[in-house]
Amino acid sequence: MDTIQFLREATALAGVPGQEGAVADYIASAMRPLCDSVEINALGSVVARKGQSGPVIMLCAHMDEIGMCVTKIEDDGCLRLRRNGGVDPRVLPAHEVIVKAEGGDLFGVVGAKPPHLLTAAEREKAVTMDSLYVDVGYDAATVRRLVHVGDAVVFKAPLVELQNGFIAGKTLDNRESVASILACAEALDRLRASAQAVFVASVQEEIGGGGARTAAHALNPDLAIAIDATFATAPGSGKFEIDPDKIAISMGPNLHPVMRKKLEECAKRHRFDFDIEVQAGDTATDAWDIQTAHDGIPTLLVSIPTRYMHTTVETAKVSTIENTGRLLAHFIDDIAREWGDIQWY
């Protein structure tokens, strides 16, 4: 797999929560050559299976992205917005966007009152969704014919390659993790692990984890691993962020302690550079929803350090994305070999 090309194409597709169909079709087509079976379930998540025997190990990476939807068409033709997922209004002004209208895509820009016209009080206030709008260039009559309240609005931001192996663009959170499970599937071909790996590209994580929760309930795996983005070191980011060259392995009350230690041992043995990320409670990832499905599923969380999360310039290192998948393949192989002798607590 060409990771950069996969992400260039995958991140270009619109897939806000509840409308991930185009992304699901693309990911399903990428998984078919690597897996024994691939399906898209009733909620829209992609479920791909690899292996015929051994423990059932679920790897879950969400494929939805943050975005917006139209709430009102103004008399001048501009569109008012609300968030669909965790959009930060501070990053919106001057962005290019695509309105996913029924009759076809409409390109637009996010406008705001020019700084020359702001009052002194307005200059001191944070940007809010209520102060922003999308301008597509048409008059109100034309816009009302083409656009409906509820239509999705997504960012227009192609993937770019930076120096030193970094890439930047929209939706790396979390299509980079989907790329890592594809890398895992490739590595499993070489390892010939005696396990049933089930790869899930889940929907609706950005609004609460419904895709992971329903997939985990249906699959009832023996072990699950959620893969997501986490915060990478950057100027002024704080002291809890992770080096972008390292894989983040989380520990916390909803993450299985024995399995986590085994994952650490696997990373050390195969010389994957990693760091521990402490999760005090809700991880705000699919791991939180998976671990309480059915009677409870032993769950781990592995993350890819990513800068500028929930913007159109999310930045991560390609080698870390690929190494995350390779580490998980070795871990699946280890667990399959030890399965009958594992002491869970």
- Distance, CA of 294 to chain centre: 24
Q: What angle do CA 128, 316, 257 make, to 5 degrees?
A: 95
pTM of structure = 0.95
Sheet holding 166-169, edge to edge: 160-161, 166-169, 314-317
Average pLDDT over residues 243-265: 96
Q: Which residue has the tokens 């671990």?
A: 291
Tell me if 206 is assigned to a ligand binding site: yes
Q: Tell me what pLDDT residue 51 has.
A: 95
Tell me if 173 is assigned to a ligand binding site: yes
Q: Tell me what pLDDT residue 118 has.
A: 84
Give the C-alpha separation, 315 to 37, whole Å: 32
Do β-strands 46-50 and 196-202 pair in parallel, antiparallel, or remain unpaired? antiparallel
Q: Are 61 and 228 in contact (CB under 8 A)?
A: yes
What backbone torsions phi and psi does residue 259 show, to the nearest 5 degrees? -65, -35
Q: Is the pLDDT of residue 333 over 80?
A: yes
SS3 state at 210: helix
Per-residue pLDDT tens over the stretch 108-150:
999 888 888 888 888 888 888 988 999 999 999 999 999 999 9
Average pLDDT over residues 183-194: 95
Give the C-alpha separation, 25 to 43, whole Å: 13
Return the active site residues.
205
Q: Tell me what pLDDT residue 112 has.
A: 83
Tell me if 62 is assigned to a ligand binding site: yes
Give the pair of three-digit tokens for residue 155: 């960012």
